[in-house]
Amino acid sequence: MQKMTKGTNLETDDFNELVANCENEALHLSGQIQGFGGAFFIDNESLTVTAASENIAEYCPLSVAQLVGTKVHDLTWLPLELLYNLGIKAGNRAYAFNDNTTTASLNYRSHRSDAGILIEIERSTATVTQRQYLQLRASILPRIDASWQEHDYWNQLIHTLDEFLPCERIVLYRFNEHWSGEVVAEKVVTGLPPYLGLKFPASDIPAIARQMYYQNPSRYIADSRQEAVNFLTQYGTPLDLTYSDLRSVSPLHGEYLQNMGVATSFSVPIMQTGKLWGIISCHHATATPIDAHLRYQAESLVKYFSMIYSTYQSKKRLALLTSLDDEVSVLAQKLRIQGEQSIPSFLHAAKTAFQASGAAMYINDDWHLCLPKAEQRLVRDIDNACRHDTSDVLLSKQDIREVDGLASVSHEEVRGVMLIRLNFELKSLRLYVFRQPEKQITHWAGNPDKTIQKVNAHGVLSPRASFEKWSEVDGEQSLPWSKRDLLLAKKLRAALIRLLT
């Protein structure tokens, strides 16, 4: 491979290799932690401390040399609830906040792994009382007389977290099906550029980092510029820090935050139906401590929000399904009516329901069109090409020219296509709805094209340096087919099967 020096742009093969390296970075095996806390590890079999961070003496009465090799029953200063309240599954946690057993007020966490128990210790700097937490939790719920939409839920969560988290910017970042994300809610101090409405490419949060959010309730980076602290083990091999809150920062991610002007970062995943739906991300330009108890309360609030929002989404989906049933019933009724106008009326209604520019249907060995300035020959050519795709009875494309054999289609009303067929038989009913090309503008936080990014002196892909609004214009495709469109297509197909068979 050609050696790349700092400042060079990337060839495609080089770029793909560097992105793969980022995706495969062993974040959990860094052998280091952040310096805002100390940690040690208790082995399952020997019940002995086998590893500790170099700075552990700042957080407990023993030095590294004294602590490593100590039996767990000799750690008399360690809060017992860290062991007694800890579950038996990997990833289970227990907490002891504001403990004053030693001379300082400390926050403790224990993490269960397959090999043992990781103990993490931080200094206590702030707290939220149970009464304050319950008040904050209640504010996430809409009032009885309120009719909230999704943006109201998002904004209320942001403003609630802003009441107790010391951050200059709090955003709600929602993923799409391709793992690109969009800032859909934001609270930011005056003077900082807003990110609301901007999108970030999927590679900004690579798959390995997203996986960590399934395994941990949050990610806290106290200072993106701070040097990491070594974690020393008896065995020489790096300790698995998958479940560690103190886990060190990837150099690439540290540089990314610095390019954003961020020193302190705190992120909490939002889960919906067991999947990573979005992230709450909190930033501060200068290193600003966020107490472990505050972070725990934020995690709890976000989990509560996830439950409330999931209920809202379920109700919204039920209302959508009911609405679609009504639409399908009206469409089907038009085909039930006998007469010359039944099919044209149905096609016009289908075009309206799908917000389309035209429609065409093959039924009873004949084609019927509701498409301006179009001839049957064009529709037959489209049908002949689409029939070769048997991956699903439904077919949807934003650009019909992506279908084999249709690269030359240039009709001004035909760019997006939705095909609904009852089955794959040649003589069965087929319904096409078309959309015209429309200009779509995507606003990115900086240029998302990573092939123009640089490689640092270590041969590692550097994150982009600018996050200023960068607009990308695409006028070649139709508007995307939404989940609502796909649900409507499925329900309409089912209704046509019942009607015609």
* 244 domain residue, yes or no: yes
Kindly state whether residue 76 falls inside one of the protein's structural domains: yes
| 230 within some domain | yes
For residue 454, is pLDDT > 60? Answer: no
Same-domain pairing of 244 and 329: no
pLDDT band for position 446 (cuts 50, 70, 90): confident
Residues in a beta bridge with 233: 51
- The pLDDT assigned to 272 comes to 96
Cβ-in-10-Å burial (0-12, 13-18, 19+) of 211 comes to middle
Share of the chain above pLDDT 70, in %: 91
Work out the pLDDT band at 456, boundaries 50, 70, 90.
low
Residue 45 has pLDDT above 70, yes or no: yes
Give yes or no for a contact between 398 and 415, defined as CB atoms under 8 angstroms apart: yes
CB 499 within 8 A of CB 336: yes
Q: Is residue 445 part of a domain?
A: no
Question: Do residues 391 and 487 both lie within one domain?
Answer: yes
Is residue 155 one of the residues assigned to a domain?
A: no
**Shared domain check, 483 and 353:** yes
* CATH code of 408's domain: 3.30.450.270
Residues 424-441 pLDDT 10s: 887 889 999 999 999 888
> Does residue 372 sit in the same domain as residue 486?
yes
- Asked if residue 389 and residue 241 are part of one domain, the reply reads no
Looking at the 3D structure of the chain, how many domains does it have?
2
Q: What proportion of the chain, given as a percentage, has pLDDT over 90? A: 69
Same domain? 229 vs 120: yes
Which structure tokens are listed for 93?
């946690």
Instruction: Identify the domain boundary among 233, 249, 265.
Output: 249
- Mean pLDDT value of segment 292-306: 96
Over residues 11-29, the mean pLDDT reads 57
Kindly report, residue by residue over 249-271, the tens digit of the pLDDT.
988 889 989 999 999 999 999 99
Q: Are residues 364 and 494 in the same domain?
A: yes
Residue 211 belongs to some domain of the structure: no
Is pLDDT at 84 greater than 70 in this prediction? yes
What would the mean pLDDT of 211-228 be, rounded to a whole number? 95
What would the mean pLDDT of 177-203 be, rounded to a whole number? 93
Q: Distance between alpha carbon 204 and the CA centroid of its chain, in Å?
A: 11
**Residue bearing the bigger pLDDT, 374 or 141:** 141
Q: Is the pLDDT reported for residue 23 higher than 70?
A: no
Question: Is the pLDDT reported for residue 278 higher than 80?
Answer: yes
Q: Is residue 316 part of a domain?
A: no
Flag whether pLDDT at 129 surpasses 90. no
pTM: 0.85
pLDDT above 50 for 5: no
Q: Are residues 240 and 355 in the same domain?
A: no
Residue 492 lies inside a defined structural domain of this protein: yes
Given a contact cutoff of 8 angstroms between Cβ atoms, the answer to whether 170 and 178 are in contact is no
How confident is the model over 163-186, as pLDDT tens digits? 999 999 999 999 998 899 999 999
Domain hosting 348: range is 324-435+478-500
The model's pLDDT over 374-413, given as tens digits with 9 standing for 90+, comes to 788 999 999 999 988 888 999 999 999 999 999 999 998 9
Structure tokens at 467: 């996050």
pLDDT at 457: 53
pLDDT at 11 over 60: no
Cβ-contact 282, 265 below 8 angstroms? yes
Residues 332 and 238 in one domain: no
Q: Any idea what the CATH number is for the domain that residue 52 is in?
A: 3.30.450.20
Judgement on whether residues 114 and 235 belong to the same structural domain of the protein: yes
Residues 236 and 343 in one domain: no
> Could you read off the pLDDT of 458-484 as tens digits, one per residue?
444 456 667 778 888 777 899 999 999
If you average pLDDT over every residue of the chain, what do you get? 89
Q: How far apart are alpha carbons 358 and 371 in whole angstroms?
A: 4
| 231 and 346 both lie in a single domain | no
Q: C-alpha angle 496/385/365, rounded to 5°?
A: 45
Q: For residue range 481-494, list pLDDT tens digits in order.
A: 999 999 999 999 99
